[in-house]
């Protein structure tokens, strides 16, 4: 933590980090942005999202995961999810993320081309998941079709420095063995990460034991997918032996505490994962199950849950949470040479949080205040690659009213659809 320092940005990269007085002497002609009551942090990295599902926020609430998916989410997606849905849902999600300090997100959803175009338009950094699931959707019909379309996108956007890619099979229970084997081969040949839900619930583990005779982690290990390219999301139901195996193979984890808590899916043993040497990032999951995309809130929840779950008040200290939401998230996504910390030469992805309000006063320790007291409304400025995306709490350019107006149109359609489905069930 540096006090009274200045960050110098040139051509989208961090050129210098030095005391303010020395910066004024060394760069007398530089344009200055003076934020004396603020903390500057690396931009937050949301390591697991389904951005477009922001349009499904609040639907099917207070349900377990399997029922929520099968009775609410998948039927609505089958009926409504198309390119426009993903475009407008992603725009809403990106607006929410930028305004709360997220500068990079790792997404898993259909029509990733629409998410990519929206991310480019709004200037946020994206790791675009190339989705694979074992049933047809409006995006693709078969696993081969999913992969063909996804890899075409990877080739199309290969030269955009703010867009990266990951293979994104949904889960072991929704993608067949032949496809998972193919994904293992492709990940190795193309050097792509594999981003998937894993050990999200006890039910998932029990079903795998019944059908495969082994846990999902052991199953992926047998298929060659348990390695340093794997980004395993959730991990609420893991044994000490499975934690050891994840650590040995170099797999990474993403912790989504609020989504897991709301769905009653369990609590990931994050302190144990980190003690084993596993890279652990933070994610919000989709707004349909969270119900927000606020990584500052996720940091506080993760800290409190870890302490309560372990009975150890020293578990996940504040500095570790900030690291998980910044540099550790970048490491998990393979972006730590580019983002995640304020170092010379890195991309100028950073945020400012105003600590002058009553909730963060007095400020004896800014790191503690950011994790336990600050809220997303205190994120005043956001820059991605040196370009301002939020200034004084407003999007740059400020298109929020139009984004919300478009989302409200979907609110009407989706609400009517849900009411029609309930009427049909009652008639049946």
The sign of the torsion formed by the CA atoms of 279, 282, 286, 289 equals positive
Quick check: 318 and 370 in contact, CB under 8 A? yes
Phi, psi of 281 (to 5 degrees): -105, 175
pLDDT surpasses 70 at 419: no
Q: Is the pLDDT of residue 69 over 60?
A: yes
| CA 110 to each of CA 54, 117, 131, 140, 149: distance values in angstroms, whole numbers, following the listed order | 13, 13, 6, 9, 11
The per-residue pLDDT for range 258-269, each reduced to its tens digit, is 999 999 999 999
How far is the C-alpha of 150 from the C-alpha of 171, rounded, in Å?
17
Q: For residue 354, what are its two tokens? A: 């105003």
Q: What six digits make up the tokens of 206?
A: 């029990």
CATH 3.20.20.140 intervals, the chain:
42-348
Percent of the chain with pLDDT over 70: 97
For residue 180, CA distances in Å to 92, 168, 177, 185, 392 come to 32, 11, 5, 9, 46
**CB-count exposure of residue 117 (10 Å: 0-12, 13-18, 19+):** middle
As a whole number, mean pLDDT of residues 296-313 equals: 94
Q: Do 270 and 298 form a contact (C-beta atoms < 8 A)?
A: no
Q: Which residue has the higher pLDDT, 238 or 411?
A: 238
Asked if pLDDT for residue 132 goes beyond 80, the answer is yes
- pLDDT value of residue 421: 54
pTM, whole model, 2 decimals?
0.95
What is the pLDDT confidence band of residue 420, given thresholds at 50, 70 and 90?
low
Helix (H, G, I), strand (E, B), or coil: what is residue 109?
coil
Strands 163-169 and 125-132: parallel
Measured in degrees and rounded to the nearest 5, phi and psi for residue 349 equal -100, 105
Long-range contacts of residues 22-28, Cβ cutoff 8 Å, at least 24 apart:
none
Please give the share of the chain, as a percent, with pLDDT higher than 90. Answer: 91
pLDDT band with cut points at 50, 70 and 90 for residue 53? very high
Give the span between the Cα atoms of 29 and 31, in whole angstroms.
Answer: 7
Q: Are residues 252 and 225 in contact, defined by beta-carbon separation less than 8 angstroms?
A: no
Q: 390, 123 in Cβ contact below 8 A?
A: no
Please give the backbone phi and psi of residue 300, each rounded to the nearest 5 degrees, phi first.
Answer: -65, -45
pLDDT for the residue numbered 415? 76
The CATH number given to 42-348 is: 3.20.20.140
Cα gap 300→321, rounded to integer Å = 8
Least confident of 116-125, 160-169, 417-426: 417-426
Distance CA 52, CA 130 (A): 14
Q: What is the pLDDT of residue 427?
A: 37
Euclidean distance between CA atoms 25 and 415, whole angstroms = 59
Asked whether residue 326 carries a pLDDT value surpassing 70, the answer given is: yes
pLDDT score of 397 more than 70: yes
pLDDT band at 425 (very low <50, low <70, confident <90, very high): very low
What band does 428 get if pLDDT is binned at 50, 70 and 90?
A: very low
Task: Please say if the pLDDT value at position 114 is more than 50.
Answer: yes
Query: How far apart are alpha carbons 261 and 346 in whole angstroms?
Result: 35
Q: Does the pLDDT value for residue 412 go beyond 90?
A: no
Per-residue confidence (pLDDT) for residue 418, from 0 to 100: 53
87-110 mean pLDDT: 98
């Amino acid at each position: 933590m540096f006090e009274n320092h200045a960050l110098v940005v040139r051509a989208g990269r961090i050129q210098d980090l030095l005391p303010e007085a020395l910066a004024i002497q060394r760069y007398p002609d530089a344009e200055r942005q003076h934020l004396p009551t603020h903390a500057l942090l690396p931009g937050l990295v949301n390591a697991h999202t389904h951005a477009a599902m922001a349009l499904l926020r609040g639907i099917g609430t207070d349900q377990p995961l399997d029922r929520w998916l099968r009775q609410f989410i998948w039927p609505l997606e089958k009926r409504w999810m198309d390119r426009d849905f993903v475009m407008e849902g992603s725009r809403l999600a990106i607006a929410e993320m930028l305004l709360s300090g997220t500068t990079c997100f790792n997404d898993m959803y259909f029509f990733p081309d629409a998410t990519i175009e929206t991310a480019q338009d709004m200037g946020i950094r994206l790791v675009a998941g190339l989705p694979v699931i074992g049933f047809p959707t409006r995006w693709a019909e078969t696993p081969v079709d999913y992969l063909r379309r996804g890899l075409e996108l990877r080739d199309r956007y290969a030269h955009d420095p703010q867009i990266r890619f990951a293979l994104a099979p949904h889960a072991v229970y929704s993608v067949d063995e032949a496809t998972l084997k193919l994904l293992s081969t492709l990940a190795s040949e193309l050097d792509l990460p594999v981003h998937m839900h894993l050990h999200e619930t006890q039910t998932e583990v029990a079903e795998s034991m019944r059908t495969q005779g082994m846990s999902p982690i052991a199953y992926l290990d047998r298929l060659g997918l348990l390695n340093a390219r794997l980004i395993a999301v959730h991990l609420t139901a893991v044994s000490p032996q499975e934690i050891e195996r994840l650590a040995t193979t170099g797999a990474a984890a993403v912790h989504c505490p609020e989504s897991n808590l709301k769905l009653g899916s369990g609590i990931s043993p994050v302190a144990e994962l980190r003690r084993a040497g596993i890279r652990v990032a933070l994610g919000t999951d989709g707004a349909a199950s969270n119900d927000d995309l606020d990584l500052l809130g996720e940091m506080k929840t993760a800290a409190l849950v870890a302490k309560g779950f372990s009975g150890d008040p020293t578990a996940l200290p504040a500095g570790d949470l900030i690291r998980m939401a910044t540099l550790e998230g970048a490491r998990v996504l393979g972006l730590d040479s580019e983002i995640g910390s304020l170092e010379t030469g890195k991309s100028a992805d950073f945020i400012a949080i105003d600590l002058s309000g009553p909730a963060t006063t007095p400020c004896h320790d800014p790191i503690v205040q950011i994790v336990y007291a600050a809220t997303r409304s205190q994120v005043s400025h956001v820059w991605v690659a040196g370009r301002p995306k939020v200034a004084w709490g407003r999007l740059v350019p400020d298109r929020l009213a139009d984004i919300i107006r478009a989302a409200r149109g979907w609110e009407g359609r989706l609400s009517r659809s849900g009411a029609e489905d309930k009427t049909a069930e009652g008639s049946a």
